[in-house]
Structure 1
């Protein structure tokens, strides 16, 4: 197999056969980011909530709580988010370092929601894209990142205190608002204060209804306004939707709307839901009936999407429509307050979520009643296959050296997804990171086995670039099960080896070895030389990660022998890297230099620039430890710009740490301090444990500046 990368610019491109030791890859350095401003849009005025705003002001000014936490609870649609966003927006000047928002309701089916939120927030501060995989490490990094910042957080739709605790910031200058439908009394241990939000008063309800209906459309003092407001039971969401019905249809008489809401045909929830929620469902039905037929269909079918949010492209695929038509329908649904527009992302300029879970439930009921089982299943399958096609297109651009396996589609795509370049492909992957695992799970649950494992395979660039360890492992467990259910031995080998890389990168080396051993057995049975060597290399890499280079060496040498027979020179180079690492860690510096120099020559010959630079850094470190400080330093200094260009924070950090060690041995304390400080800052974004080790080295440096060449100060 020949793996080359031709001259020229292709954006972010990864070439890797095997990754050992948790290597992180990053995009080229991003520009300085402005302070995040993520709060949902707010109305200029907030009717009927003056008393609650005053209560929140009291919580903020309480001297007993340096970083106050307010927990606002109430029934669905009562206006918790609107109140919170309005209040925090008024306080923006007091929290200049950012306003952060998350809706935990939108990610409740995604595991783990707090980890996904922290990755997004840390990314908004410029950390990543490769971040720690464990929730505990992410939370620690978040607290460190906010310790000296004044930020405002709105944590919306929390179901439990366990979701909230990891999201709390560090320091004493921030503020947190949590909303939920249940009393989160466990947060009192963190100093939280509770604020119950009741429905609006009748007078405030009528004023809000009239404001949403439009100027002159409805007198708030009229009998019709009082009737509609009473039917909506003071729930702002219901009032806004009822007002939207009147605003959308100038011929609709308020008295007719009042009668329809009072009849409330959707009483099936009456035993489980408060009065105000009835009006939400009834108002949703009123709006639904006023929509064009094709928009109603999009509304229903969007409930069947496996993603946690919507965009025109996946909606178009699910409904078998051109994207422009789907976008028009989503715009109508947003204008009718059934969907909410979300801030655009690079790679996803338009995206939407449901206005509330009750509206989502209403759409689900309509789909159950109006669409057949076959239509609903076909919708979900179209969405999964569109996601597969898009991920496969991104994979070809981002990991071109990886052999692409055959894809299976049961439905033709109206407009197959394409990307103009690797940068656009990477933006799509980053924007859909939170949707990857839900889509794979959906295909797996439907027993679409080929789609499930092919999705896992196509999303390899996501796992390799962003290193979301928990999702990486969970996806490959599903993919492996699907490959076995499909009876596809080649797919099973692919799932075992790529899943084992994730296990090893996350530190689960023992389990990774078991996966590689299964892949090895399958490769031997099939006579597949490439996977035979890949499995041996992986086992050797795991033993090296665990500090067992003597156990690793037989596997690595056997991999070299296997690949020598097939002529796979690049694989030989990768195996020599790991042999060199093992020799270096056991103090066999001469042997380490020999292995690493041979690996470097092979990888340069095959045009694998990234791995060649990685070997050069190892080789520089080995030569410096052997006493040739100047030659080692030159190799490391030449490798550093390459890692910066590739966006690899982890390898920048390793290189800077080694430069710090070398310059410290040379008596250049000031230079060493500078290198260590830079390394620690980079490690903070990818591996906090490594950052702690570097800071220990930093603390051990002698005070003072560099010595001159003759040993004087």
Structure 2
């Protein structure tokens, strides 16, 4: 089973049946000599069982029994018992059994430090491995979990075998083994640690530093995480000039450190093989860099939100330009999004070490180190890449002074304080670029087979390169999956971030790194903004979210902080001159997840305050519009308001304001209904009627009123229901759907009679008269118009 399933008897390989029969045999083997229940076998064989799985199990068992023949303990190896089925197999007949026995002996020797014995037993176990158990064969979730456990057991065994080899001093063999494993298992930090130790043990510290840089880049680009503390400490030790001897880290005798061959520094991590060209930002970068004019060195800051591919773009451009810099390239990871961004003093020491200055040659203090660094680069032409900067304070000491150098900086912050600098803001990929990236990773044949799903998948990923790489990685690791399967799983917004964060890493970790650096109020505002939905929003919504409705400047400061952190995007200015903002869909999903930590009552109160302010603004705007027969109701919905001068300024041109806010206001009604803020929901919907009628927005009118009817009925608010039914009836009248209008108006009239609302009843009667007139039922219309209630409605 350690590879594709094979059964041998007397030196002859037996023919097996189809994949389900093979899955059944595998499930029985993993419970060899025990009773396997039918329910266990069903869960092991099918992800989605057929209508009568027990019948299928009996058929497969019968076929297997004929194939396997007699065993050593009875007439048949496979027998039926009262509780299920039992397959008889000796441990030495089954490779998984032999594998587990050898690993038990090897683990015991490993934990005692008996390296030679451990190496021999691990080697016996690993020789049995022919690939992933059962390969790509379809199986049920229960069996898949066991098979994944076997694969993990094998990987741990490989790590321990490699460690034992290292302890025996076989450094070159360890390096070869690990480099064969890393392309498929690059997340295994123990493998990276052993590789660094083995390279140092072979007196190849430069390669060790390069390997660490490659690992850091891949972890950051593909998962948005840092190496563990043990690896970071080892990296610092190598930078200080330490080396490995007999498996332990000791101080080197040399105080001058090592110099790269020929005195040229080449620290750039490897370029991405599947990098997708981004014409506009690449053109901006290359134009900003120019030819390294005399004077202050060009500094280019590439900023953007998490996962947009800043580092990948900068590294790609850096590799293209590397030939222009005869003295080489310096690369530093500033870890700006980690919990502890690296100090400038430590970063300067790292760069000085790369230039040949270590130990006592490195002066104390940031200023002295920065001065030495500038002196060393004053007459050199070098490319300096500063990746993942936290802020301008961290970057400034790392800038050379010589005009022959160029500095490329990436950051999730805008870093407008780095002067002089050319700033390039990077956003998600265009759709054609996103499709190209996915196609390059999964292969053109697979992409061409499902072109529609390719488009849907990259859209579900928000065109973020990191998200697309994670999704594509899942597809590459599951060649039997059709693209539509992953597309369906990503269609659920509530689970999308989980699907794109395997093992809790990936997008979620990348987003969290950005949020972690925010001040508490700003982080709280980010999480609460996610609750407001996918619409573009004005900045004022932050004030009521934070219960600071009278602090307009505070709201703008919070919005500016989110924009500077590239967590909130400004998406233009509306017709009233108000900037609009929006959360990227995946960031919004992360914000909603984070908001779950806020008590539900406080979340509901925050949403209620925002909708209450919208209701107040809608009332003000309606009062500035031409008179309407749909004058807004005034009842008991909770109120919230911005300062009067701010609200008046915003609604000074009512129709312009309504046009700009229309989508957000429809979303506000939906939000209030979802959060069961029922009074606000129905009153806001009803108050929107004059504008929706004036602009003939019948679809929106119908939608918000029907949603709000749910809220009114939920609280048995018959007055609210009656008002909303009249509004929906008016939409039907505009659409010449008179039968529906009569039914709704009659229901509204009946509700008003029940609660004694004569004015509301009169309006419903007047509406019925309008319908009768339009249908040319003049007698009916005359009766309706002539009623006392209709006169009350028409003349107030």
TM-score, with length taken from structure 1:
0.42
Decide which structure has the larger Cα Rg and report it: 2
Between the two structures, name the one with larger relative contact order (CA 8 Å, sep ≥ 6): 1
TM-score, with length taken from structure 2:
0.38
